[in-house]
Amino acid sequence: MRAATFQGKGDIDVRQMPDPAIVNPRDCIIEVTSTAICGSDLHLYDGVIPGVEKDDILGHEFMGRVVAVGKESTLEVGQRVVVPFTIFCGQCFHCSEQRYSNCDNSCPVEDQEVAEKAFGHPMAGMFGYSHLTGGFAGGQAEYVRIPYSDVVPLVVPEDIPDERLLFLSDILPTGWMAALNAEIAPGDTIAVWGCGPVGLFTILSAFQQKAGRVIAIDGVKGRLDMAEQLGAEPVNFHETDILDALKQMTGGIGPDAVIDAVGMEAHGIAIDNMADRVKQAVGIGQDRAHVLRQAIMACRKGGRVSVPGVYGGKADLFPLGAMMQKGLQLRTGQTHVRRYTAELLDLIERDVIDPSFLISHRLPLDEAATGYRNFRDQQDEWIKVVMHP
Amino acid sequence: MLYNQGHTPMPIANWARYGLAATLATAAGGVLIYRRKPGINHDAAPARSARHRRRFGDYRVTGATVTIRATPEQIRACWQGNAQLWPELEYLPFPEGNQPDLLLPPSELRDMASRPLLTRIVAEREDELVAWRSEGDGHADMHGRLRFRDNGAKGTAVEVIMAVRPHHFASAWKTEAMMAEALELGLLRDLRRLRMLIETGEIATARMRPDAA
Ligand SMILES: NC(=O)c1ccc[n+]([C@@H]2O[C@H](COP(=O)([O-])OP(=O)(O)OC[C@H]3O[C@@H](n4cnc5c(N)ncnc54)[C@H](O)[C@@H]3O)[C@@H](O)[C@H]2O)c1
Ligand SMILES: [Zn+2]
Ligand SMILES: [Zn+2]
């Protein structure tokens, strides 16, 4: 089969790889019909997440049709499914509490130790996302092996096109969980950093969850325009002192909740960010936590901090005093995708939301390298890339 | 034997070395005083968390703990009855076919002995404990036990502890510290495999095909 493979920092190549086959009884194999490039893939592409090896197949946002099933799978050949990026067993202690991205069993034991050293505990398995999360082959490919296919994939109706369903695999539930983690009370003012796909779905979710106002912060005009179309008040960090603006816009109180939908690769020429950039470049496990620092400083006293943006290392100059003295709460995590998919599918079926507005570019899988490059370097126009094998 | 070696005093050639020796002696004395200081009870550290845990005489003691959502009975049944588990194990012994009280050490452990190393179950308490020790003239002396403890709604905490004293140094076991580290890691992996098999019915793998490496 053809698959988008990692060949080194900034080097994606579509190559011929072996077809997957059933390995464990609960597996299924799907033929991919649509797959997307995620902001998280850019962290791999830029080499800031460790544990990616040459020839690893990337991609964790995908959907398709079942073409083979193991003897314990409950799916049938021909069924149409969206596949969550977090792999989970459904039976461990964490899964029993629907914290699927904390699953204890889905990452192969040999791959658990690096994450355990770095984070104190091992991570769950994920598709196409480095050996920290199991080294599973990803979905930017013609075929994918899906473990625990009796619980992981979401069977979707035939009459809704791929483009409206695909983002149930990651970014739509991620925006949804980011808003839930902000514990929005009706009428609240929420500030969202980052108007990439995750930020935009966070804004959409915040309004669905009854936010009164959403202030959207980014430095890319095209993306701020999309945020405005969703009803948010755009603020460009290149032109604005963000802390000042947020105070003024909220009558001196600050946003009730702040959401960091940017993560470890923040842009901007702030001093802390430039220092982080140097440290990240020399590979000492430093995250560029500029946005998180700013969000914590901006948040109102007693407010909530929600962090869907991905971090993988350590952060200097973390405003711990502000967290403590203002009595903030912080919630974060890889998304427990499958916990939210039924609810979100319902919103899509009832036409309350149509996530396909995000898609700016459609490419054949063979042009994955172009997709990655432009999604990173031309953010004004390349909002979301969907590929078809 | 390396792990029993005392200090061989180095010939002392000059005052600088006396100075160094004095510094080391003071430091060592300090450690002793710290250790003996009333009020610090090293045995009070929970489970295997004491800082000097790894050495008990000539034995190296290591272990691992996981919680499994199953009863002790189900856990024992899988460990002693599910042949799918056994080839995956690194250090946790598993039952020898038709002699129920014999346990076979997995290949990693067998490597450290040039003769087969049989372990025999020496104590069993239903739902609580299984203990074993090696027998005969193998090239290692080994004691181990598996203990089950109720961990509330989270399931059963399963702890394995192994104490190993090699008789001769087998080539695969470079140093005592490496041995202890490998054992500890391997036992944790083994318990995690056991948990996977019990909770999910399979052992997680990222392989794309059954025949892939
Ligand atoms: N928690 C999860 O499970 C999960 C899932 C998917 C994605 N993510 C993470 O969410 C983050 C966003 O993903 P995405 O797909 O939208 O990525 P993206 O790269 O397309 O978007 C990031 C946006 O942040 C903006 N930005 C950069 N620096 C900024 C700053 N200083 N202030 C304000 N905005 C700034 C960029 O201009 C860009 O528009 C990434 O870190 C990604 O890894 C997390
Ligand atoms: Zn993603
Ligand atoms: Zn699980």
User: Does the pLDDT of residue B1 top 50, yes or no?
Assistant: no
Single out the residue of A223, A191, A154, A169 nearest to residue A383, CA to CA.
Answer: A223
Query: Looking at chain B from residue 151 to 210, which residues have their Cβ under 8 Å from any Cβ of chain A?
Result: 154-155, 185, 189, 192-193, 195-196, 199-210
Q: Provide the domain count of chain A.
A: 2
Torsion, CA A166, CA A168, CA A169, CA A170, rounded to 10: 120
Residue A265, Cβ neighbours under 10 Å: how many?
A: 20
Residues A299 and A322 in one domain: yes
**Which atom of ligand 1 is the closest one to the Cα of A291?**
31
Q: What is the DSSP letter of B203?
A: -
Task: Write the CB contacts of A155 (distance below 8 Å, at least 6 apart in sequence).
Answer: A75, A79, A80, A81
* A259: CATH: 3.40.50.720
pLDDT of residue A48: 87
Instruction: Find where tokens 């996981």 sit.
Output: B66
Calculate what percentage of chain B has a pLDDT beyond 90. Answer: 29
> Under DSSP, is residue B62 helix (H, G, I), strand (E, B) or coil?
strand
Ligand 1 lined by A292 (C-beta under 6 Å): no
Residues A92 and A203 in one domain: no
ipTM of this predicted structure:
0.94
Residues A315 and A354 in one domain: no
Task: Judge: B69–A93 Cβ closer than 8 Å, yes or no.
Answer: yes
Structure tokens that stand for A206 in this block = 């915040």
Alpha-carbon torsion B169, B171, B174, B179, what sign? negative
Q: Residue B172: pLDDT band by 50, 70, 90 thresholds? A: very low
Residues A190 and A326 in one domain: yes
Residues A162 and A218 in one domain: no
Residues A254 and A155 in one domain: no
Pick the residue from chain B with its C-alpha nearest to A106. Answer: B204
Q: How far apart are the C-alpha atoms of A133 and A6, rounded to whole Å?
A: 16
Ligand 1 lined by A200 (C-beta under 6 Å): no
Residues A149 and A135 in one domain: yes
pLDDT of residue B143: 86
Most distant CA pair in chain A, distance:
61
Residues A189 and A57 in one domain: no
- Strand-pairing partners, residue B131, are B123, B145
**Which atom of ligand 1 is the closest one to the Cα of A384?**
20
Contacts of A24 in chain B (CB under 8 A): 202-205
Task: Judge: B208–A72 Cβ closer than 8 Å, yes or no.
Answer: no
* DSSP element (H, E) containing B164: strand B156-166
Calculate mean pLDDT across residues B132-154.
84
Averaged pLDDT of chain B: 75
pLDDT of residue A375: 96
Q: Residue B176: pLDDT band by 50, 70, 90 thresholds? A: low
Measured in Å, residue A120 CA sits from the centre of ligand 1 at 25
Residues A200 and A317 in one domain: yes
Q: Which of A37, A40, A235, A271 to mutate to test the pocket of ligand 1 (most atoms within 8 A of CB)?
A: A40
Residues A195 and A232 in one domain: yes
Distance in Å, alpha carbon of B164 to nearest chain A alpha carbon? 23
User: Does the pLDDT of residue B90 top 80, yes or no?
Assistant: yes
Alpha-carbon torsion A317, A320, A325, A331, what sign? positive
β-strands A189-193, B156-166 pairing: unpaired
Ligand 1 lined by A223 (C-beta under 6 Å): yes
B interface test, pick of A86, A92, A130 with most B CB neighbours within 10 Å = A92
Q: How far apart are the C-alpha atoms of A27 and A21, rounded to whole Å?
A: 9
B111, B172 contact by CB (below 8 A):
yes
> Under DSSP, is residue B123 helix (H, G, I), strand (E, B) or coil?
strand
pLDDT of residue B5: 37
Most distant CA pair in chain B, distance:
68
Residues A63 and A135 in one domain: yes
Alpha-carbon torsion A225, A226, A232, A237, what sign? negative
A interface test, pick of B69, B205, B211 with most A CB neighbours within 10 Å = B205
Task: Judge: B210–A22 Cβ closer than 8 Å, yes or no.
Answer: yes
Which structural domain, as residue segments, surrounds residue A238? 172-332
Statement: B55-200 belongs to CATH 3.10.440.10: no
Residues A200 and A289 in one domain: yes
**Which atom of ligand 1 is the closest one to the Cα of A199?**
16
Q: What is the pLDDT along chain A (389 residues), one digit of tens a residue?
A: 999 999 999 999 999 999 999 999 999 999 999 999 999 999 999 988 888 999 999 999 999 999 999 999 999 999 999 999 999 999 999 999 999 999 999 999 999 999 999 999 999 999 999 999 999 999 999 999 999 999 999 999 999 999 999 999 999 999 999 999 999 999 999 999 999 999 999 999 999 999 999 999 999 999 999 999 999 999 999 999 999 999 999 999 999 999 999 999 899 989 999 888 888 888 777 889 999 999 999 999 999 999 999 999 899 899 999 999 999 999 999 999 999 999 999 999 999 999 999 999 999 999 999 999 999 999 999 999 999 99
Q: Which of A293, A309, A332 is the last residue of a domain?
A: A332
Contacts of B200 in chain A (CB under 8 A): 26, 89-92, 105, 148
Torsion, CA A202, CA A205, CA A211, CA A216, rounded to 10: 30
3-state secondary structure chain A: CEEEEEEECCEEEEEECCCCCCCCCCCEEEEEEEEECCHHHHHHHCCCCCCCCCCCECCCEEEEEEEEECCCCCCCCCCEEEECCEECCCCCHHHHCCCHHHCCCCCCHHHHHHHHHHHCCCCCEEECCCHHHCCECCCCECEEEECCCCCCCEECCCCCCHHHHHHHHCHHHHHHHHHHHCCCCCCCEEEEECCCHHHHHHHHHHHHCCCCEEEEEECCHHHHHHHHHCCCEEEECCCCCHHHHHHHHCCCCCCCEEEECCCCECCCCCHHHHHHHHHHHCCCCECECHHHHHHHHHCCCCCEEEECCCCCCECCCCCHHHHHHCCCEEEECCCCHHHCHHHHHHHHHCCCCCHHHHCCEEEEHHHHHHHHHHHHHCCCCCCCEEEEC
Q: How far apart are the C-alpha atoms of B190 and B79, rounded to whole Å?
A: 10
Q: Which of A316, A332, A348 is the last residue of a domain?
A: A332
CB nearest B208 (choices: A110, A111, A137): A137
Measured in Å, residue A174 CA sits from the centre of ligand 2 at 8
Single out the residue of A81, A88, A164 nearest to residue A346, CA to CA.
Answer: A164
Task: Write the CB contacts of B26 (distance below 8 Å, at least 6 apart in sequence).
Answer: none
pLDDT of residue B31: 52
* DSSP element (H, E) containing B194: helix B176-200
Cα angle: A359, vertex A365, A202; to 5 degrees = 30
pLDDT of residue B38: 52
Measured in Å, residue A80 CA sits from the centre of ligand 2 at 20
B interface test, pick of A55, A94, A105 with most B CB neighbours within 10 Å = A105
Task: Judge: B204–A109 Cβ closer than 8 Å, yes or no.
Answer: yes
CB nearest B209 (choices: A20, A90, A104): A20
Measured in Å, residue A26 CA sits from the centre of ligand 3 at 14
Q: Residue B14: pLDDT band by 50, 70, 90 thresholds? A: low
Polymer length of chain A? 389
- In order of A138, A184, A239, A244, the CA distances from A217 in angstroms are 31, 18, 11, 13
Q: Which of A301, A332, A363 is the last residue of a domain?
A: A332
